[in-house]
Homo-oligomer: A and B are copies of this chain.
């Protein structure tokens, strides 16, 4: 693995994903054709569909990768660390910008955020993002089951933890992008995680 061929494939995939996101934020979901995304990357429309099986999937892909990193971080961390500490660390880790910078203009962060909100309001997009969440949740449950010696096929525990972590993650992220509070995500996310970890008695 990791041959030249496969790295080129990954490059094309992320390029398509970025192009889809950028074009959608700039011109709106309905105004962007698959043809446009393919053209922006210099590839045929047919090839686009070899990489992604729907227009929405390309956009959710970046989010999927991020979420999968959470599970991966959890697996690679030190094995002695208490579960919730490890989870929190992994969740914060996943927020750090990866090697993706450069695809995206750091220009006009306000416009970008606004465009993001508009984009995620699209039903098809929202649905696809949630599906990505779900896929990552499954990975996460497996990682947690490994750590705790439980079985995702028969125990509630690992699935519940995974679902709760993703829930906390998503809630914190939503609240952040909607700007309900001025608090940074680095504060919101650990707080949300601590809350689901320790319980949610009537406030």
Contacts and interface: CB of A to CB of B under 8 A. Distances in A.
A164 B200 contact: yes
Nearest 3 pairs of A and B residues by beta carbon: A199-B199, A163-B167, A130-B130
Interface string A162-203: 011011101110110010110000001001100111111111
Interface in A83-139: 83-84, 123, 126-128, 130-131, 133-134
Interface of A: 53, 82-84, 123, 126-128, 130-131, 133-134, 148, 150, 153-154, 156-157, 159-161, 163-164, 166-168, 170-172, 174-175, 178, 180-181, 188, 191-192, 195-203
A107 B107 CA distance: 60
A51 to B, nearest CB: 15
A82 B195 contact: no
